[in-house]
Amino acid sequence: MKKLIAGFLTAILTASSVAYAEPPEFSGGVSNEYEYEEVVFISGKPIRFIGEMDMSESANEEEKKTSYKFKLAPADKSIDGSLTRSITLVTTYKKWDGKGQTSADTTVDKYSEKIELGKDKYELEDFQFSKSDIVDNRPAADFYSGNLKGRKYYTINKDEGTVTVDISGADTGYKNFWGDTGTNIIDMTFDYDRKIATDDGEGDQDLQWRGTARIITSDSMMKTLRYSPNDATLSSFSGGNMRITSRDMTSRYTYELPEMDEGSAGIDQGNGKFAVPEGDSDKGTIDLSRSMVPRLERLAVPRFRDLSGHWAQTHIEKLYSLDVLEEGGDFFTPDVPMTRAEYIKAVMKACNIRPSMEAKKSARASRKAPKEESVFGDVSISDEDYAYIKDAYNKGIVKGSQNGMFRPEASLTRAEAVTILVRALGFESKAPTPGFASGFTDDRKIQAWAKASIYVARETGLVQGDSQGRINPDAIMKRSEASAMIVRLLEFMQRDLQRDYREDIGSFK
């Protein structure tokens, strides 16, 4: 059991720029720190297997190797059976320079599998598998989508027959600092062909059947914030925020198999009963789920003296606890305008898009290195916020004005704030062909450069209009209003994406 825990946790906690949450292997199984479970259809009857899974992973920027080892037994103790499986998958990565994208191609490197049910032994003789994904690395979240094809070929008791399993499907998912969900949709077709000696000695009985199964399985991680009060009266603080990291896997099997006539000589079901397929179909659905023990982290406690009773107090204190807002004094001044530089820095930190310091280290290492030129004429490379502004520029989140200026100290407008959030998510291209209306009553006041982002923000629920349905694009954003908008971005990356990639795709609640 310790091997299971250590191997699995090492894999899911490995920090890698190319690692994503994904259900283990491609059998629809789910697991937590202690147990793994999946459904096996190879005998023509759905049988739940449960036991240990050991997962290990090694990865670099060009390749990832993932190995799984399973040691399982039927969950129903009346069934005599076992499953052992060992599979190594190799994924190679190709970065598309200038496009901000990565392709990931996966094949099977090593495989072995044996399933025993009563007197019947199924052994995997060949496994052909190919999977290819495309990843968009530009936004605050890495979004990916792919397709897979495969075929498993089993022998039955060495020479009594074969089972061929054709596999096809797709996967989709995302990864950001606040959430990480991968969902697989896999279709399997089972072709069973076997000869069994009859009891009367008059020859072999030819048993053939075909069945199907659809598996929708999801692996999901989400970080949430929760306020925890301090029960002590004589304390320097009344409470603070806590970050909770939770992870769970959910799977749904929908199958159609032949109805088995138990009591006749035929396929060993592992419980002392044999069966042969009849003409009718056996249809059903099986749901599996497993959850990890949540991980808790207490965060810094804010001590602003001008927030008590303010409508945005909770939003501002959350961002301070997360180190998104950096304020050294006792006052936050929530009702003064937020500058463009302050907002960009907060958004980049909220998305955990941290600026890389490698370029600076390289420049210091070599005196002959050419002096870096600022991406904007009015932002010095020595400015404490320059790294964040540069990173936002390189990712296409900010573009500046036509004369190459950023205007870092200028007051932020609502149009600018919304546009930055939509670009950070990578959603700006989701707007329709020009000529559309944003849906707000003051649509004519929206500048052309902001209209697509404002349309997308409204459609995705990132922003809403005022009581009269206006977006007020030119209104200056107060620090409190900008804080509330950034918190909405965090909530979107925490909950909305997970709902779309898990609940809406797989109908998991």
**Cβ partners under 8 Å of residue 501, min gap 6:** 172, 173, 174, 181, 182, 183, 218, 220
Query: At 403, which amino acid appears?
Result: N
- The model's pLDDT over 16-29, given as tens digits with 9 standing for 90+, comes to 334 456 788 899 99
Q: Is the pLDDT of residue 271 over 90?
A: no
pTM: 0.84
Per-residue confidence (pLDDT) for residue 202, from 0 to 100 = 63
Which span out of 113-122, 135-144, 493-502 was modeled with the highest average pLDDT? 113-122
Q: Tell me the mean pLDDT in the region 182-200.
A: 87
Of 498, 503, 422, the closest CA to residue 174 belongs to 498
Q: Is the pLDDT of residue 1 over 50?
A: no
Q: Tell me the mean pLDDT in the region 42-47.
A: 94
Stronger pLDDT, 355 or 170, i.e. the higher one:
170
Q: Is the pLDDT of residue 200 over 70?
A: no
H-run or E-run covering 321: helix 313-321
CA distance 178 to 180: 7
- The model's pLDDT over 469-481, given as tens digits with 9 standing for 90+, comes to 999 999 999 999 9
Stronger pLDDT, 15 or 217, i.e. the higher one:
217
Q: Give φ, ψ of 301 to 5 degrees.
A: -100, 120
CA distance 471 to 485: 13
Q: Is the pLDDT of residue 89 over 50?
A: yes
Of 104, 103, 106, 102, the closest CA to residue 90 belongs to 106
Q: Is the pLDDT of residue 14 over 80?
A: no
Per-residue confidence (pLDDT) for residue 218, from 0 to 100 = 93
**Confidence at 7, pLDDT banded by 50, 70, 90:** very low
Q: Give φ, ψ of 405 to 5 degrees.
A: -105, 150
- The model's pLDDT over 432-470, given as tens digits with 9 standing for 90+, comes to 888 889 999 999 999 999 999 999 999 999 999 999 999
DSSP 150-201: EEEEEEETTTTEEEEEEEEEEEEEEE-SSEEEEEEEEEEEEEEEEEEE-TTS
Q: Is the pLDDT of residue 312 over 90?
A: yes
Other CB atoms within 10 Å distance of the CB of residue 157: 14
Q: Give φ, ψ of 342 to 5 degrees.
A: -60, -40
CA distance 209 to 464: 56
Tokens of 453: 């982002």
Cα angle for residues 292, 297, 302 (degrees, 5° grid)? 150
Q: Is the dihedral of CA 321, 323, 324, 326 positive or negative?
A: positive
**Confidence at 268, pLDDT banded by 50, 70, 90:** confident
Other CB atoms within 10 Å distance of the CB of residue 389: 25
Cα angle for residues 294, 298, 301 (degrees, 5° grid)? 150
Per-residue confidence (pLDDT) for residue 354, from 0 to 100 = 63
Share of the chain above pLDDT 70, in %: 88
What is the SS3 assignment for 343?
A: helix
Other CB atoms within 10 Å distance of the CB of residue 464: 11
Per-residue confidence (pLDDT) for residue 15, from 0 to 100 = 34
Per-residue confidence (pLDDT) for residue 107, from 0 to 100 = 96
Per-residue confidence (pLDDT) for residue 356, from 0 to 100 = 54
**Cβ partners under 8 Å of residue 455, min gap 6:** 431, 432, 436, 438, 439
Tokens of 249: 């896997």
Q: Is the pLDDT of residue 4 over 60?
A: no
Q: How high is the mean pLDDT of the chain?
A: 87
Distant-in-sequence contacts of 8-15, Cβ < 8 A, 24+ apart:
8/33, 8/53, 8/54, 8/55, 9/33, 10/56, 10/57, 11/55, 11/56, 11/57, 11/66, 12/247, 14/57, 14/59
Q: Is the pLDDT of residue 371 over 90?
A: no
Per-residue confidence (pLDDT) for residue 103, from 0 to 100 = 95
H-run or E-run covering 254: strand 239-268
Per-residue confidence (pLDDT) for residue 365, from 0 to 100 = 47
CA distance 262 to 276: 7
Tokens of 379: 């932002």
H-run or E-run covering 72: strand 63-74
Stronger pLDDT, 259 or 507, i.e. the higher one:
259
Q: Tell me the mean pLDDT in the region 93-106.
A: 90
**Confidence at 264, pLDDT banded by 50, 70, 90:** low
Q: What is the CA radius of gyration of the chain?
A: 28
- The model's pLDDT over 375-421, given as tens digits with 9 standing for 90+, comes to 999 999 999 999 999 999 988 899 877 788 999 999 999 999 999 99
Per-residue confidence (pLDDT) for residue 201, from 0 to 100 = 60
CA distance 19 to 15: 7
Of 135, 142, 186, 145, the closest CA to residue 25 belongs to 186
Q: Is the pLDDT of residue 47 over 90?
A: yes
